[in-house]
Structure 1
Amino acid sequence: MGRAKLTILPPGKPLSGRAMPPGSKSITNRALLLAGLAKGTSRLTGALKSDDTRYMAEALRAMGVQVDEPDATTFVVTGTGRLLPPAAPLFLGNAGTATRFLTAAAALVDGKVVVDGDEHMRKRPIGPLVEALRSLGVDASTATDCPPVTVNGTGRFDADRVRIDGGLSSQYVSALLMMAAGGNRPVVVELLGEHIGALGYIDLTVAAMRAFGAKVERTSAVTWQIEPTGYHATDFVIEPDASAATYLWAAEVLTGGAIDLGVPADAFTQPDAKAYDLISQFPHLPAEIDGSQMQDAVPTLAVLAAFNETPVRFTGIANLRVKECDRVRALSLGLNNIREGLATEEGDDLLVASDPSLAGQTLPAEIDTFADHRIAMSFALAGLKIGGITILDPDCVAKTFPTYWDVLASLGVTYTDIQ
């Protein structure tokens, strides 16, 4: 049984020490799928072992891929170049990457695949991806535009171009790109509309595909051509998770500490690493922050903004409403639970009023995490400066950063009221 709640005791001193973030969730789940689609044995090092990556690994095993775990940060994946129909529906919890990527990959399976998740995943949209698969001639269906999705794959496509609206999630685009290389003909993937969730994540996908032998070329700002090369096994090193790093960067500036992450901020290729430049401006964050290209860093920045010298408006964050929970609402509720009026939702924007005098106060507040790891981890930052911050369902951090509370403890943070 997980802990019901955890109350953070403000350390009252700078947090200093060494704290390595875990491996990147985004890159780990891309590499796992590509290794599973490849023929031969791939060794993935520096990988994240968490709920989300465990769901992906289990799903691959259910489709005939051998996935060994010789140590805490390595997956050894041996595939035949083909995924087999699983005997039962694939249960993927609330793992967005695994769900979207495997829905598309199911088109390469000769048989029926049902992709499903928990109650939260069943509320997260997947309709645009299902429609895109259908336009390729793939038999894919969903009753609700959310999981479960049923795909009767043949490993073949009937079209050489697919259009996808990536406005709700760049994961739809990444899913199609990775699937396309395993098909029977060259495919052009084209974005519809001007807005895409986070282009940087598509760059991550393309880089991983090329590492596993795919031939993919960006032919315009909104089109990619993918050759039907399939994938070959390779050894692949996964960089630390930039989204996880944002909590440590923020903890450092909030407490005036010195936290060594073992990797410089400019060495990350993930989009959320862009948040470092903003975090380093604290307590003089800009008046407006566009979160569209670093969406998972927005909760970190929003809690940090509560202690900023001046108010901060977060724009470009409509997609946060369809993440693990409605993160705009969860941030607003949590901040206002600390002090009424601290946050305002204006359309899909979030305005954080900012009040440096919050630091040092005791303001008892129970933070509803909505089972969302990023809400739990970001509001822990408030507990570094304010007494009485209690995180409900703290173990939801296992989704991407299972050792989060231990890492903070190693830097000098203590807790009470652990139940």
Structure 2
Amino acid sequence: MESSRDVANAPAVAIVPPGRPLVGRVVPPGSKSITNRALLLAGLARGESVLRNALASDDTGHMAQALRRMGVPVRQDEDDGATTFVVSGTGRLAPPDGPLLLGNAGTAMRFLTAAAALVDGTVVLDGDAHMRKRPIGPLTAALGALGVEARDTEGRPPVTVRGRGAFGASAVTIDAGLSSQYVSALLMAAACNDRPVTVALAGAAIGARGYVDLTLAAMRAFGAQVLQEDVGRWRLSPTGYRACAYRVEPDASAATYLWAAEQLTGGAIDLGVAPADMTQPDAAAHDLIARFPRLPETIDGSQIQDAVPTLAALAAFNETPVRFVGIANLRVKECDRIRAMATELARVRPGLAREEGDDLVVAGDPDLAATARPARIETYADHRIAMSMALVGLRVPGVTILDPACTAKTYPRYWRDLARLGVVLRPE
């Protein structure tokens, strides 16, 4: 583990291919997606909620701090590497004394924008330079249709919401083509309204529908009553939420890097949890990863979006080319992940990957290590680019990851866990 000691503070880290199977036990952190949902629901609930096996990271830290700023005490306890949040809610959120600064935490920005409608007062939500490029217009438009004054900045943050404690209408149609988080945000807030609310999709398009199911499961755990009227319409009863003890499952997106590391090195990594026991959409990537080095010719990434960079890194060593389709939404994540993966894989070897429209095509070469060249990998302040491209370094000599600290967004122990498996990391 000593090789990972200074990685978090280093401007770059060089990865030394282990040259042997990676064997050991590494338990992924708690799910970021579930932790941020549970934090908000606990903040909206009455009473003390205890969230065990939660994720402590930049993203969840932004959510927890925003709740504190809105009058909700949130305590974070650590015990042998496991994080527990204790949230003491009153059933209401108070206006903060200034803008909520949410970094590049997309879930916090979207979820809190809708929840701000329940505040009796004004809430300003802002983020860093990357967040100010991410779309939020469909959500603010939906809030407007619900009678909430919500003003964005040319369809992006910062956002100003003038809440009145409840929605002014009882039905809304939301365009979720860019993100399922818009739907999740409205659903979670709607259960706290003073009358029933119906949330419907505009058309069938929705990014990563499985995350809506994740939202509904968490809401029900906190006492919400939701009737799914059809595949794209939900009716929320005005129940509010009740405090509960809630256990967060391990993060499936984080697990994809470990599953891929196992395949790339012929190793055996015990994650302490079976993919079938995970409810997150990215758990479905396990079956694809297990097919390496014979990945399918075409992979539809629409429902496993956060796993696509992992699969793209794996595809670089595949026996045949792989085309990733259904991934246009990756252009509006923390960075343009289609362009980033195409650019950085091509840095390892020209022509290794390319964009074709909104598809990503990876050439695939089992002998890539013999023809690759040393590469300093730009990460675009995106944790998933850093962690995925680090996988390439498990086979290719000379791979250096710039800004390795960006992995703290969702997986602060990533470099430490690689080192525990025997990967030598050289901070630069």
Same fold (TM over 0.5): yes
Whether 2:189 is the aligned partner of 1:179: answer: yes
* Contact 2:18–2:423 (Cα < 8 Å) also in 1: yes
Distance in 2 between residues matched to 1:190 and 1:227, nearest whole Å = 15
Q: Output the TM-score relative to the length of structure 2.
A: 0.97
Distance in 1 between residues matched to 2:353 and 2:244, nearest whole Å = 47
Whether 2:83 is the aligned partner of 1:76: answer: no
Whether 2:365 is the aligned partner of 1:358: answer: no
Match among 212, 228, 234 for residue 222 of structure 2: 212
1:173-192 Cα distance to aligned partner (Å, 9 max, x none): 00000000011110111011
Q: Give the deviation of 1:70 after TM superposition.
A: 2.1
1:7-26 counterparts in 2 under 5 A?
7-26=14-33
* Contact 1:218–1:225 (Cα < 8 Å) also in 2: yes
1:113-172 Cα distance to aligned partner (Å, 9 max, x none): 001100000000000000000000001101221110000101122221111011100000
* Contact 2:131–2:157 (Cα < 8 Å) also in 1: yes
Q: Output the TM-score relative to the length of structure 1.
A: 0.99
Whether 2:256 is the aligned partner of 1:246: answer: yes
Distance in 2 between residues matched to 1:365 and 1:95, nearest whole Å = 29
Q: Aligned residues: percent identity?
A: 67
- What does residue 289 of structure 1 align with? 299
* Contact 2:118–2:167 (Cα < 8 Å) also in 1: no
- What does residue 68 of structure 2 align with? 61
Distance in 2 between residues matched to 1:321 and 1:29, nearest whole Å = 23
AA of the residue aligned to 1:126 = I
AA of the residue aligned to 1:348 = D
| Shift >4 Å, 4+ stretches | none
Match among 4, 12, 26 for residue 5 of structure 1: 12
Q: Give the root-mean-square deviation of aligned CA atoms.
A: 0.9
Match among 334, 348, 369 for residue 324 of structure 1: 334
Report the 3-state secondary structure (helix = DSSP H, G, I; strand = E; otherwise coil) of the residue aligned with 1:195.
strand
Match among 240, 248, 254 for residue 230 of structure 1: 240
Report the 3-state secondary structure (helix = DSSP H, G, I; strand = E; otherwise coil) of the residue aligned with 1:83.
coil
1:216-268 Cα distance to aligned partner (Å, 9 max, x none): 12110110110110000000000000000000000001100000000011110
Whether 2:44 is the aligned partner of 1:44: answer: no
Range that drifts further, 151-160 or 255-264: 151-160
* Contact 1:24–1:242 (Cα < 8 Å) also in 2: yes
Q: Which runs of 5+ in 2 are unaligned?
A: 1-7
1:30-78 Cα distance to aligned partner (Å, 9 max, x none): 0000000001000000100000000000000000001011224100000
Report the 3-state secondary structure (helix = DSSP H, G, I; strand = E; otherwise coil) of the residue aligned with 1:387.
coil
AA of the residue aligned to 1:104 = A
Q: Give the deviation of 1:200 after TM superposition.
A: 0.4
Whether 2:97 is the aligned partner of 1:87: answer: yes
Distance in 2 between residues matched to 1:19 and 1:335, nearest whole Å = 27
Report the 3-state secondary structure (helix = DSSP H, G, I; strand = E; otherwise coil) of the residue aligned with 2:229.
strand
Report the 3-state secondary structure (helix = DSSP H, G, I; strand = E; otherwise coil) of the residue aligned with 1:140.
strand
Q: Which runs of 5+ in 1 are unaligned?
A: none
Report the 3-state secondary structure (helix = DSSP H, G, I; strand = E; otherwise coil) of the residue aligned with 2:174.
strand
- What does residue 337 of structure 1 align with? 347
Change (3 A) 1:194 1:125: same
